[in-house]
Structures are given as structure tokens and as C-alpha cells.
Chains A and B, each alone.
Chain A
Amino acid sequence: DSGVTQTPKHLITATGQRVTLRCSPRSGDLSVYWYQQSLDQGLQFLIQYYNGEERAKGNILERFSAQQFPDLHSELNLSSLELGDSALYFCASSTPSGGRSDTQYFGPGTRLTVL
């Protein structure tokens, strides 16, 4: 158990709909990352937040957005869903581990199926 929690575990929805995925980081971690894993693309970084502020963006579609709240939990919003958005979505959080290195710990993921 990494200490990172994600809800829901599974989500089935229809094309055109909007969903929200939730992530609670490990206690004390200020940084949250979102990753997408689809069958044909592998694990890809989407976006990072640190203490409520967006810090880095990857290959995140404009239909996707995220935010981090004052209690440090984060939400990933996916709108106008398409069949190709079906994937596993992982959240990770990190904390400095001495010196200049930091380690990301991943949650169990949310499996999104768009029908």
C-alpha cells in the first residue's frame, strides 16, 4: 500500500460525458502527478500540481483539466469523452527523500471505460 488513494476504482460512461477522478496523496506530500496508461501509448505523464499550483504539463488534452485543493487532494476532470480516452489513470505523490532526490509513489489507479 503506497498511501496514495484514488476513487473510483472503475468508471464506465458514455461518449460525450464528463467525469471526475479523485486522488488523495500520501500524508505530508505536497506534489501530485497524474498519468494516463492506455494500451497503445503506455504510461504517459499528464500534469503535476504542487501545493495547489500547476507545476508541469505533459501531453494533456484541452478537454482534460485538473486542480489541487487546499487539503492537497487533487481531481482530474475529463470532459467530452471519446472512446480513445478509455485508459487507466494513475495519480502519484512525492516527497523529498534527502538531498536532491524525490520519489513518486503511485495510487492503485482508476480504470475508465468509455462506451
Chain B
Amino acid sequence: DAKTTQPPSMDCAEGRAANLPCNHSTISGNEYVYWYRQIHSQGPQYIIHGLKNNETNEMASLIITEDRKSSTLILPHATLRDTAVYYCIVRVAIYNAGNMLTFGGGTRLMVKP
């Protein structure tokens, strides 16, 4: 699986958009970009994933550059409850193929009042 690079920490004001970048310059054509977050010591929570098109769900938006070498997770209106470590993971995602998630250091997002 391709390696990802994320800033170790970011701050965001409550109510503003949080834009979390991820660099994955060695991504392969069949690798998806996944985002998870972990609030304190809870289980990682799935946020969103995409292959090459931008994706949006009730939690966030995922913007993938045209060359797929980087992406941005956008939380449109950050709240204090969005304070967490956010992980960007790139992986081949063939069901039942033994493709585990490889977590890096992630970005520690602090949402401030």
C-alpha cells in the first residue's frame, strides 16, 4: 500500500471548515483513499473513501486531485466533537483479499471554541 504524509497537528475554529491534507504521491491506480478518525481512545471511525472522484457524505467531503497524488478531507462546520486524530490511508480494497489498514501517525485536529 502507498505511503501517506499528513501534518502532525492542526487547529480549527469551531464552526469553520477544517481542511485536512494528505499526500500520497506513490498511489497506484487501483488504490483507494480512506479516511478514519479516532476520538481519544475510542475505536477508529470510518469517515469516507474514494478512488478518483470527489466524494461527499453526511460527515465530510473528500477532494482528490486529478493526478491522485494528494487529497483533502473537509469537515464543513467543525465542532468541538470533531477533535480527534484523523488518519489518511491508501489501500487496495478488494473484499476478502487480506488488505488490512495501515495506520500512520495521522493528524491531530484540535477544534477550538
A99's closest neighbor in chain B, by CB? B51
Residues of A within 8 Å of B49, CB to CB, are 101, 103
B96's closest neighbor in chain A, by CB? A50
Instruction: State whether A33 touches B105 (Cβ < 8 A).
Output: no
**Cβ-defined partner of A55 (8 Å) among B42, B44, B51, B98:** B98
Which A residues, 11 to 61, have Cβ-Cβ distances below 8 Å to chain B?
Answer: 30-31, 33, 35, 37, 42-45, 48, 50, 55-56, 58
User: Interface 1/0s, chain A 57-92, versus B by CB < 8 A?
Assistant: 010000000000000000000000000000010101
| Docked CA distance A55–B97 (Å) | 8
User: Interface 1/0s, chain B 40-54, versus A by CB < 8 A?
Assistant: 011111100101000
Q: Is B59 an interface residue (CB 8 A)?
A: no
Tell me the smallest distance from the CB of A109 to a CB of chain B, in Å: 5
Given the interface pairs A101-B32, A101-B49, A103-B49, the reply to whether A56 lies near B43 with Cβ below 8 Å is no
Residues of B within 8 Å of A104, CB to CB, are 46, 101
**Cβ-defined partner of A90 (8 Å) among B44, B96, B102:** B44
Residues of B within 8 Å of A88, CB to CB, are 41
Determine which residue in B38, B44, B93, B100 has the highest number of CB atoms from chain A within 10 A of its CB, and name it: B100
User: Interface 1/0s, chain A 82-114, versus B by CB < 8 A?
Assistant: 000000101010111000111111111101000
Tell me the smallest distance from the CB of B56 to a CB of chain A, in Å: 16
User: Interface 1/0s, chain B 90-113, versus A by CB < 8 A?
Assistant: 000111101111111100000000
Instruction: State whether B98 touches A90 (Cβ < 8 A).
Output: no
Tell me the smallest distance from the CB of B23 to a CB of chain A, in Å: 19
B30's closest neighbor in chain A, by CB? A100
B positions within 8 Å CB-CB of A: 30, 32, 34, 38, 41-46, 49, 51, 87, 93-96, 98-105
A positions within 8 Å CB-CB of B: 2, 4, 30-31, 33, 35, 37, 42-45, 48, 50, 55-56, 58, 88, 90, 92, 94-96, 100-109, 111
16 contacts between A and B (CB under 8 A): A35-B101, A42-B104, A43-B87, A45-B102, A48-B98, A55-B96, A56-B98, A58-B100, A90-B44, A100-B93, A100-B94, A101-B49, A101-B95, A103-B34, A104-B101, A106-B43
